[in-house]
């Protein structure tokens, strides 16, 4: 059994969790809509260089989530460190959210469905 290699020193600016194709389909009953949102998110993160370890401010992580415990108005995109969850995240909305919130640091208030806080 080999020992895993642990890489340290890569800063993370944001972590994006998208509930797009959940197994119970509670928030997003249309899997095609969610799949298109996920494809767009992956493409944008790559095309905009957000995964580049040399990016000032850190990289952007993205993962597909099976449920974010909101279960309505999907697809749902939760963004840390702000703890902001957006609803109705179509492929078109993904693009605006990435450009305005993740890159521009200006959340889009009209699409926010929930805010989470990390307990201190
Ligand atoms: S199924 Fe998407 S948030 Fe629960």
Residue 7 confidence (pLDDT): 65
The reported pTM is 0.91
Q: Does the domain spanning 18-115 belong to CATH 3.40.30.10? A: yes
Give the start-to-end residue ranges of the domains of the chain. 18-115
Please state, in angstroms and rounded to a whole number, the distance separating the CA atoms of residues 34 and 90. 7
Grouped pLDDT means (10 residues each) for the chain, 120 residues = 72 96 86 94 97 95 95 96 97 97 98 93
Distance 103 CA to ligand 1 centre (A): 25
List the structure tokens of 25: 């389909």
Pocket of ligand 1 (CB under 6 A): 19, 22, 24, 26-27, 67-71, 74, 76
Dist. CA 115–CA 68, nearest whole Å: 12
């Amino acid at each position: 059994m080999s020992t895993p290699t642990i890489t340290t020193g890569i800063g993370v600016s944001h972590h994006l969790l998208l509930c797009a194709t959940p197994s119970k389909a509670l928030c997003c009953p249309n899997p095609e809509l969610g799949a298109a949102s996920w494809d767009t998110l992956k493409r944008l993160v790559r095309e905009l260089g957000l995964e580049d370890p040399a990016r000032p401010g850190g990289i952007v992580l993205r993962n597909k989530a099976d449920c974010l415990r909101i279960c309505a108005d999907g697809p749902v995109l939760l963004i840390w460190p702000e703890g902001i969850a957006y609803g109705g995240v179509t492929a078109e909305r993904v693009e605006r959210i990435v450009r305005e919130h993740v890159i521009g640091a200006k959340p889009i208030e009209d699409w926010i469905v929930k805010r989470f806080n990390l307990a201190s």
